[in-house]
A and B are shown apart, each in its own frame.
Chain A
């Protein structure tokens, strides 16, 4: 029998976990990555990785509650079977990573220590200092290196994925990739291909993501016929350090330890922050949310900071949006003890000591909840059917999507410390599915003609970029800047239909201009210019998915926020009237879910150069959707009404009770 071989694209947590599992199952792997896999973006994750554990279990926690928190956090846009399976697997994932040598922090007795994270009531999060992602990635990298030494893996580092190779039946039979050093373009036949290529932060110009998180690989699959789902759901983290080159994350713990967010009341007050008296400072979170102050939920903090800079023009600087995050009132010794690590990042990159001078921070694009559409098979207990070939397969047979580049697990909003889990889980869980898929296929060799024509198409594209646009003045770096600025302005925190409509026209223009870039480097050796130009061109289909998806979704859900369609708080004082309002609120909520509790599914239309959108029902078979009411006036009565309704439905047998 022919040797089984799979192409895995992407060497972060998901890709490496996949390689590790596939090789264990006896499948040889070609692993492709834009960077040495040890440098993949997963290294940047700081906080930790979630699982129900022995300690939380005794406090009433269970895998089910982890599942519920995830679905609730995602505003019910998650298909529930994959999330349930992930929550069930979480403790096993932590155990495996522990065995693989991840230096998780320990309790005095030697057990794995845990901390609490946003959105949960239990100490579920295992962590390794403030570099959990780095430690998990290294452990997987080491196992893959071990498999490489045993001849099971061939690594193609500094290779750019260009397209999946599809046969006449539309099945994926390999990939085309390009050596970023020699610029050689080559076809790689494979029995299946796995996309594990992360998020698309670079569509926004600057984000907290690494420079290779440009979404181009997902976009190339999308343009080849794969469906792209929930593109409009982009998580924006409230506090990051704005930089000329990138936005660096500043952990929420700074506010947790007493950090105060403010701006000078006078726009662009030229005085040094320390010289501005309290009376001239606007502590806008504390004033607007007296109850929660600086610790309002993440999405609210993000929106308020954005609002103060964009709509009120009170940014600390005139040419760059930022607000102060002030820790200077806290004794330096206490700061060092509790926040040492993140303060060092600020100090290192800003050259400013945040113990003495307030930090300048702004929200930043942080995570793509959307991604390639992927299938699954639901098991009889509401989880996933292990080994089913369809698990995480895109609509292109033989092409799989896992990790951040697929659309499962996070719904409308990502729960902190769940992304590392979803990456490793999908990598491990899909191993047997992929093997079963391969075994179900006839093992005829891929025709040379097919391999050659796919390769030739990419050679043509490459050549056209080098020489096809003579005389054009278009510079890819400048177009990228324009795209990023536009996307950041209209499709991050607050979305408005008129702005989105305008942006779609503008992005279309930029797309056309990007197709005509003229490169200053036309050489055939390590030409980063042409690689960047290609990635730029391929950002546009995703940018259009984000914009169009956001435009058509007239509601607020998770990270997607349209003020026009926000549900108002209750106003009545009279209990009976208040009750009536709550009933009406719940009716509206249900009606809204009827319309919008759906995944956005995009298919690429090459003729119009636009995505066509359809919608898919969300599987909410285990946990009925309920409103997220944090901070809303009248939340108590709404919740009461809602629970009565839920109970009635449960009694009518619509949902299983747990």
Chain B
């Protein structure tokens, strides 16, 4: 498909952008309409940059610039996830021409709904990284000294692992998942950083760990040294918030911007945890 026909006649002069804003955690969200000049080859990030520079709504009211999170703008860092026209995705690769051809009237931007809003379009995804800690998503090497090369690996193994290791922790799969529900832990007066973190992690750990973390379990359990922790990872998936919480809605795989075979990972994890549970039962 060629979106940028130089002969295209119906380019709008202005674009309407409707943004769901929220001044801080626990505050009421509100909608704001911005109007910016159309330029060719815009994406949602450049739209937000124009809005920040102009900081005025469609009715001429001076407002604070919209807050959002972004990084590489090449769809590889995972920072700029938001809900664009009702669909969760990376905003850097959300091209205005395509969005306008779906809905010529306006572009609607909302923060992800499954994570606590920090401000406007920026959310707190710490729970996502906690999930990686929960499943011990790493290779437990002895040391960082030079001990020679790792174990030789078949090309097949590399080709199975490579897609899984492209997960950029963007959170699209979690936003789309009906079983992954928002957990917001407001800070209490007088709580130290450590106390707050411990309480927050305890709450997070009760919730569904999500497709991305399950897929990482499969990645590391398939690594020659990584599999040393296979049992512990499967334990983590057997408990509450583990693999049993997956309702097999398959939304995750549909929204993954990296097209990671998440449902395949979930199915493999399902079998592995079952075998693991039976083995454990016999070992009792």
Does B272 belong to the interface (CB within 8 Å)? Answer: no
Cβ-based interface call for A337 (8 A)? no
Q: Which residues of B contact A248 (CB under 8 A)?
A: 73-74
Q: Is the CB of A36 within 8 A of B129?
A: yes
Q: Across the interface, do B158 and A44 meet the contact criterion of CB distance under 8 Å? A: no
Q: Which among B132, B165, B166, B168 has the greatest number of chain A C-beta atoms within 10 A?
A: B165
Mark B112-133 against chain A: 1 for CB-CB distance below 8 A, else 0: 0000001100100100010011
A350 lies within 8 A of B4 (CB): yes
Complex Cα gap A617–B169 (Å): 46
Check B1 for interface membership: any CB of A closer than 8 A.
yes
Choose among A98, A211, A353 the residue that contacts B150 (Cβ–Cβ < 8 A). A98
| Among listed A104-112, A379-387, A542-550, interface-contacting one | A104-112
Q: In the complex, what residue of chain A is closest to B223 when comparing beta carbons?
A: A101
Tell which of A56-64, A162-170, A458-466, A523-531 binds the partner: A523-531
With A and B bound together, what is the CA distance between A481 and B41 in angstroms? 18
Q: Indicate if the CB atoms of B72 and A101 lie closer than 8 Å.
A: no
B39–A244 CB distance below 8 A: yes
Q: Tell me the bound Cα distance from A98 to B149 in angstroms.
A: 7
Q: How far is the CB of A341 from chain B (nearest CB, A)?
A: 11
- B72 near A110 with CB under 8 A, answer no
Q: Secondary structure of the B side of the interface?
A: loop
Sorting the interface of chain A by its residue count into under 10, 10 to 19, 20 to 34 or 35 or more gives: 35 or more
Contacts of B23 in A (CB 8 A): 523, 525
Identify B161's interface contact among A103, A145, A149, CB under 8 A. A103
Identify the stretch in A131-139, A443-451, A553-561 within 8 Å (CB) of chain B at 4 or more residues.
A131-139
Check B78 against A39 for contact (C-beta < 8 Å).
yes
Residue in contact with A525 in the complex, picked from B93, B119, B220, CB distance below 8 Å: B119
- How far apart are B139's CB and chain A's nearest CB, in angstroms? 4
Residues facing B in A471-523 (CB within 8 A) are 475, 477-478, 481, 520-521, 523
Give the residue of A40, A98, A101 whose beta carbon is less than 8 angstroms from that of B220.
A101
A340 at the interface (CB under 8 A from B): no
Q: Which residue of B lies closest to A477 (CB)?
A: B53
Of B70, B125, B166, the residue contacting A211 (CB under 8 A) is B70
Whole-angstrom CA separation of A108 from B158 in the bound complex: 11
Taking a contact as CB atoms under 8 Å apart, the answer to whether B144 and A96 are in contact is yes
A351 B3 Cβ-Cβ under 8 A: yes
Chain A residues lying within 8 Å of B225, measured Cβ to Cβ, are 99, 101
Which residue of chain A has the shortest Cβ distance to B74 in the bound complex? A248
Given contacts A105-B158, A145-B137, whether A110 and B152 have CB atoms under 8 Å apart is yes
Which positions 151-206 of chain B face chain A at CB distance < 8 Å?
Answer: 152-155, 157-158, 161-162, 165-166, 168-169
Q: Which residue of B lies closest to A109 (CB)?
A: B152
Binary per-residue interface labels of chain B (213-241) against chain A in the complex, 1 for a CB within 8 Å, 0 otherwise: 00000001001011000000000000000
Chain B residues packing against A (C-beta within 8 Å): 1-4, 6-7, 23-24, 39, 41-43, 45-46, 49, 52-53, 55, 62-65, 67, 69-79, 92-93, 95, 97-98, 118-119, 122, 125, 129, 132-133, 136-141, 143-144, 146-150, 152-155, 157-158, 161-162, 165-166, 168-169, 220, 223, 225-226
Top 4 nearest A-B pairs by Cβ distance? Answer: A351-B3, A142-B138, A521-B64, A244-B46
Could you list 22 A-B pairs, sorted by A, with CB under 8 Å?
A36-B79, A43-B77, A95-B148, A95-B149, A96-B147, A105-B155, A131-B166, A134-B168, A143-B141, A149-B136, A181-B118, A243-B46, A245-B46, A246-B74, A272-B7, A349-B95, A351-B97, A352-B3, A356-B2, A478-B53, A521-B65, A526-B119
Given contacts A38-B168, A101-B165, A142-B139, 12 further A-B contacts (CB under 8 A): A36-B129, A39-B72, A41-B72, A44-B77, A108-B155, A131-B166, A143-B141, A210-B71, A245-B45, A272-B6, A352-B2, A521-B64
